[in-house]
Structure 1
Amino acid sequence: VNQLKAVLVRADPALRESLTGLGPMTLVRRCAALDDVAPLDAPTTARYTLRRLATRILQLTDEVNDLNRQLTTLLTRHAPVLLTRVGVGPDTAAALLIAAGDNPQRLASDASFAALCGVSPIEASSGKTHRHRLNRGGDRQANAALHRIVITRLRCDPRTRAYQQRRLAEGKTPREIIRCLKRYVAREIYNAIPRTSPLATAAT
């Protein structure tokens, strides 16, 4: 998409103006429908390049959509509760299930799952100062998945936004609030993860 936009910026003004103001996918479809109208010259080369890039974007979009459908089907079969959680999509659910592994019953508590995902707070107090620092360990893909869930909830979930405002009033920084929320989300996800392996279920 970035390549397509870069070509469009340097394209013939008439061609560029004909594609101005279109939404992302409308722009891609319009570019995919472009025709070569003359022997190879600068304007036609731009049309050819835009058409090839747009065609590739549409093909990859179809591939992504197909994979998401298959992933959603698998998740609905093996971890249906997980997809009902606010902010949890197929990608984030898959990353968290992969982190839990094929033997999720080894995770004795939500604290162990939080440590696995690198969202358990680490004591960093000194003297009369009591604080915790960021945990840089754990599964970074699972950590990123929890981060995406929190950011999504901060945008659209009233309870999360209310929590954010309350902690801001207490003097917490936005980064500290996100760390706290990631720990709470880890507890919620832990309770939604099946305690039996999908492979074991399939074998029976």
Structure 2
Amino acid sequence: MRVFATGQGRKTDDTDAHSIALVGVRMGGLRSVVHDQTLEVLRLLVDRRRRLGEDHTRMVCQLHALLLEIVPGGAKKDLSAAQARKILTGVRPKDPVGRTRKRVAMELVVDLERIYVRKKAANKELVELIKTTGTTLLGLHGIGPSGAARLLVEVGDITRFPTRGHFASWNGTAPIDASSGDNARHRLSRGGNRHINHVLHMMAVVQLRTRTTQGRAYYDRKVAAGKRPNEAMRCLKRRLSDIVYRTMLDDIVTTSATGPGGHRGASHISSAAGSQPQTDTSDQSLPGPVTHHHRTPIKTPA
């Protein structure tokens, strides 16, 4: 709008204000900003939980660096505070440098134990608040308290995305068309909401760790079909995006108790993929042309 209205894309406070006013006057279907106190509390809690996770990772890295100098070969990658304490208990350094290293490492262990307690309490608080929203995101394999809270906070009203393709494009899991002539190809999207993209990535990683998950079976089928591991991973994330989209839509319908038993019936935009990533449709997002529908249609009570 700034480019069309002024003839150039220069960004200033004046041109921004003018462009916003033009959008508000000329464009229909704009959504009103709604302040949801529950989501605001969730945002504060999930941001705190993220910082605790970052502190935990930083301390573990520092502890590994010290243990490499204290114990030959260091310690295993997945190191807990109790395991680190046990290792340090068996170390008897004789020189001042070694004793200082052990003392600093033990201080890190104590800090890690405190972080564990705070993370546990933060997860419990998140779970309790998430349950009050009525969402079923915690029932999805690979979605924990932080992931569910981040989805609720960043997405807000899921009906602002007309289709699952729009949602995938917004979170960066939809590939970008990079075709040229007869050469049809797609490349990885580097845009989108990176918080939600990370949640979907961790969801995929968790599913790949277990051979019995349907996400793992879907990934293995893609690899067997000739896709490289990274390509199969992107396909899985795209399919999980559809599942999250459908789950959040169903949550809205269930909460509003539309239809018999609170379940949503079929619609012309229903996801072609099933509730698990075994139903294949397409690896790329193929949204149709823009229509006059600005919100996802949901059946209303008769």
Q: Where on the TM-score scale, by shorter chain, does this alignment land: which range?
A: 0.7 to 0.9
Task: For 1:92 and 1:167, locate their aligned partners in 2 and report how far apart those are by CA, in whole Å.
Answer: 25
User: Following TM superposition, by how much is the alpha carbon of 1:82 offset from its aligned partner in structure 2, in angstroms?
Assistant: 0.5
Structure 1 residues 10 and 135, CA gap change in structure 2 (3 angstroms): closer
Contact 1:100 1:113 in 2 (8 A): no
Corresponding residue to 2:133 among 65, 78, 83: 78
Corresponding residue to 2:214 among 159, 169, 177: 159
Q: Is it true that 1:24 corresponds to 2:83 in the alignment?
A: no
Task: Point out the more displaced range, 90-99 or 130-139.
Answer: 90-99
Output the TM-score relative to the length of structure 2. Answer: 0.54
Task: For 1:63 and 1:109, locate their aligned partners in 2 and report how far apart those are by CA, in whole Å.
Answer: 39
User: Following TM superposition, by how much is the alpha carbon of 1:27 offset from its aligned partner in structure 2, in angstroms?
Assistant: 2.8
- Equivalence for 2:146: 91
Contact 2:67 2:75 in 1 (8 A): no
| Sequence identity (%) | 32
Structure 1 residues 132 and 44, CA gap change in structure 2 (3 angstroms): closer
Q: Is it true that 1:52 corresponds to 2:107 in the alignment?
A: yes
Q: Is it true that 1:61 corresponds to 2:116 in the alignment?
A: yes
User: Following TM superposition, by how much is the alpha carbon of 1:31 offset from its aligned partner in structure 2, in angstroms?
Assistant: 7.4
- Equivalence for 1:113: 167
Structure 1 vs Structure 2 CA RMSD: 3.1
Output the TM-score relative to the length of structure 1. Answer: 0.76
Q: Is it true that 1:124 corresponds to 2:178 in the alignment?
A: yes
Amino acid at match of 1:181: L
- Equivalence for 1:201: none
Structure 1 residues 93 and 48, CA gap change in structure 2 (3 angstroms): same
User: Following TM superposition, by how much is the alpha carbon of 1:121 offset from its aligned partner in structure 2, in angstroms?
Assistant: 2.2
Amino acid at match of 1:148: M
Q: Which has the higher helix share?
A: 1
Task: For 2:108 and 2:189, locate their aligned partners in 1 and report how far apart those are by CA, in whole Å.
Answer: 41
Task: For 1:185 and 1:84, locate their aligned partners in 2 and report how far apart those are by CA, in whole Å.
Answer: 13
Structure 1 stretches of 4+ with a deviation exceeding 6 A read 31-34
- Equivalence for 1:6: 65
- Equivalence for 1:202: none
Amino acid at match of 2:142: G
Gaps of 5+ in 2: 1-59, 256-302
Gaps of 5+ in 1: 199-204
Contact 1:33 1:51 in 2 (8 A): no
Contact 1:153 1:160 in 2 (8 A): yes
Aligned length: 187
Q: Is it true that 1:195 corresponds to 2:249 in the alignment?
A: no
User: Following TM superposition, by how much is the alpha carbon of 1:74 offset from its aligned partner in structure 2, in angstroms?
Assistant: 1.6
Matches within 5 A, 1:164-183: 164-183=219-238
Task: For 1:161 and 1:186, locate their aligned partners in 2 and report how far apart those are by CA, in whole Å.
Answer: 15
User: Following TM superposition, by how much is the alpha carbon of 1:174 offset from its aligned partner in structure 2, in angstroms?
Assistant: 1.5
